[in-house]
Chains A and B, each alone.
Chain A
Amino acid sequence: MSLKGAGYIVGAYEHPTRKAPDKSVTLLHAECAKGALEDAGLTKDDVDGYFCAGDAPGLGPLSMVDYMNLKCRHVDSTDVGGSSYQVAVGHALESIAAGRCSIALITLAGRPRSEGMATGTAPRAGSPAQPEVQFEFPYGPATANMYAMCATRHMYQYGTTSEQLAWIKVAASHHAQHNPHAMLRDVVTVEDVVKSPMVASPLHRLDCCVISDGGGALIVTKPEIAKSLKRPLVKVIGVGEAPKHQAGGDIDLTYSAARWSGPPAWEMAGIKPSDIKYASIYDSFTITVLMQIEDLGFCEKGQGGKFVSDGNLISGVGKLPFNTDGGGLCSNHPANRGGITKIIEAVRQLRGEAHPAVQVKNCDLALAHGTGGSLGTRHCGSTVILERE
């Protein structure tokens, strides 16, 4: 049975905070839930399914449904890092289709900025029970150098350049100037990016996303309920998810799991990449965007550098407007997980509620893709395709 159209996104809310030293992670989750329900025109008592991931404190979703006093028939806490929220949309569709819930709430929140976390540059050991830790941690795997190794190899294999990667940041900054909540609102040039300090070669400071507090929430529901509400109809027409790992040491860092999460989503939706009017692409680093664009089929493998150059990702200028809120590269990356904000901006675009300066005209088909974990070791790719009805 195809899940195409089994659910609609009727509520979407992004927390405006970027630094929240005076709030707990649970409160941020609950504020996001409240915002998404108000956006949808629903109340907390309407929710009967709850979805969260590893950023929610406590034992899976139990602490959160207790804190918010939700009466749920179904909960799910699949944790695949920053890609968990695209996966949650897919799982919400399955749950709705199976009759396990009818109004699903998905939340994300975190405050790494207030907690002083050096997200990209400080290696984190993880649990001793994780089998890879003792064979990897001594070598200093931080987040930035894991993604950087993908960039080094991509450059070697396909001739990709730092200037081409820089265009991705340039495009994000053009969009962020219109977002009053974005952390970095100054428009930057290719030269600014390649002359910013090196963090982990070949990635510069401006190739990296921001570290921010914040969160977001989504409401997914079945068609009958969606059509009874007063919001524009945003139908989920394609979903896909897939993990990628080290394959016993048979390593290829030139592609991402989007190579496998994309095809089922395209097939379900019955459309092709060139039909997409707006794309939210996970942007922990510039190289993340470039590899996903290739792997989702927006251009040929290896041609991502050329594709992203010369403003091709800038709304109103290029062929593939991306991350029109400024994305993780300029706006926010709450809980070090950018999946949910990708979906929220895609919903804004389809509703015609993006900032007028970046709103894509006649935006009827959008994609939101997440990458969670680490591109350099093991990660998950998750793809959601949405249609304005």
Chain B
Amino acid sequence: MAYVQRKIEFVGTPDSNPETKPYWDGCAAGKFLLSRCTKCRKAHWYPRPICPFCFGDCEWVEASGKGKIYTFSVMTRAPTPYAIGYVTLEEGPSMMTNLVDCDLATLKIGQAVKLKFVPSEGGPPIPMFTPA
């Protein structure tokens, strides 16, 4: 089945969440950034400046963009069907994302995927994943 990309609405709010601005600036520059703790060295998701594992200070690091599908669901009852999923990143954490640019019927848990930026309406491109 040919893949059709649905429209992606940008709801980033750097005005009310100033600390996430570097993340969205990264997306605009084609870089997918993760927040990693300077103390315990663990990366987490979703990004925050205070480490959710040890309350240490975090820094932005560019992710490899490689991961594996932890789980997914194809939303059939939508104007344009899409696949939502959790991808476990090479750096450790699992993140909610979309699985794009592929036959949605062939997706499998454990499948290797790679980063693909998809344009949004009203904001920078959004990091998504496609089979590697």
User: Which residues from chain A sit less than 8 Å from chain B, CB to CB?
Assistant: 121, 125, 128-129, 131-142, 144-145, 148-153, 156, 197-203, 246-251, 253, 377
Residues of A within 8 A of B73 (CB): 144-145, 148-149, 151-152, 200-203
A134 touches B13 (CB 8 A): yes
CB distance from A116 to the nearest CB of B (A): 16
CB distance from B45 to the nearest CB of A (A): 4
Residue of B nearest to A154 (CB): B71
Q: Which 4 pairs between the two chains have the least Cβ-Cβ distance? A: A249-B93, A249-B45, A148-B73, A248-B52
Residues of A within 8 A of B86 (CB): 149, 251, 253
B77 touches A153 (CB 8 A): no
Task: Give the total of B residues in contact with A, Cβ under 8 Å.
Answer: 46
Q: List 29 A-B contacts (CB under 8 A).
A: A121-B77, A131-B17, A132-B46, A133-B11, A133-B13, A134-B11, A135-B46, A136-B96, A137-B9, A139-B98, A140-B78, A140-B84, A140-B98, A142-B75, A152-B71, A152-B72, A152-B73, A153-B109, A156-B109, A197-B77, A198-B74, A200-B73, A200-B74, A202-B73, A248-B42, A248-B51, A249-B89, A249-B93, A377-B96
Q: Bound complex: CA of A247 vs CA of B44, how far in Å?
A: 9
Task: Give residues of chain B (77-121) contacting chain A, Cβ–Cβ below 8 Å.
Answer: 77-78, 82, 84-86, 88-89, 92-98, 109, 120
CB distance from B12 to the nearest CB of A (A): 5
In this complex, the member of A134, A249, A251 whose beta carbon has the largest number of chain B beta carbons within 10 angstroms is: A249
- Residue B41 lies at the interface, judged by CB distance under 8 Å to chain A: no
B8 touches A138 (CB 8 A): yes
Residues of B within 8 A of A150 (CB): 71
Q: Bound complex: CA of A125 vs CA of B12, how far in Å?
A: 11
B77 touches A200 (CB 8 A): yes
- Residue B6 lies at the interface, judged by CB distance under 8 Å to chain A: yes
B11 touches A140 (CB 8 A): no
> Which residue of the partner chain, among B85, B96, B98, B109, contacts A135 with CB atoms under 8 Å?
B96
